[in-house]
Amino acid sequence: MPERKGSDNPAAPSTTADTPVHVAIIMDGNGRWAEDRGLSRLEGHRAGTQNIRTIAQSAAKSGVKYLTLFAFSTENWSRSDNEVTGLMDILGEVIEGEAEEMSDAGVRLNHLGRIDRLPPPLQEAITAAMALTQDNTGLVLSVAFDYGGRDEILHAVKRIIADGVPPEQLDEATLNRYLYTDGIPDPDLIVRTGGEMRLSNFLLWQAAYSEHFVTDVRWPDFDEGEFLKALDVYRNRQRRFGGLRPSEAG
Active site (catalytic) residues: 28, 76
Nearest approach in angstroms of CB 70 to ligand IPE is 4
Phi first, then psi: give them for residue 139, nearest 5 degrees.
-55, 135
In sequence order, the 6+-apart residues with CB closer than 8 A to the CB of 129 are 95, 99, 109
CA angle 130, 157, 5 (to 5 degrees): 75
Chain contacts with ligand IPE (rule: CB under 6 A): 26-32, 70-73, 76, 87, 194, 196, 198, 200
CB closer to ligand IPE, 62 vs 200: 200
Residue 104: name its binding partner from Mg ion, ligand IPE, none (Cβ under 5 to 8 Å by kind). Answer: none
Q: Which does 147 bind (CB under 5 to 8 A by kind): Mg ion, ligand IPE, none?
A: none
- How crowded is residue 51: how many other Cβ atoms within 10 Å of its Cβ? 20
Q: Residue with the closest Cβ to ligand IPE?
A: 31
d(CA 139, CA 98): 14
188 near Mg ion, rule: CB under 5 A: no
Q: Which of 28, 98, 146, 151 binds Mg ion (CB under 5 A)?
A: 28
Closest CA to 190 of 11, 25, 10: 25
Measured from the CB atom, the residue of 71 and 107 that comes closer to ligand IPE is 71
Residue 28: CB atoms within 10 Å: 21
Question: Cβ 43 to Mg ion, closest distance in Å?
Answer: 15
Q: Which is nearer to ligand IPE, 69 or 102 (CB)?
A: 69
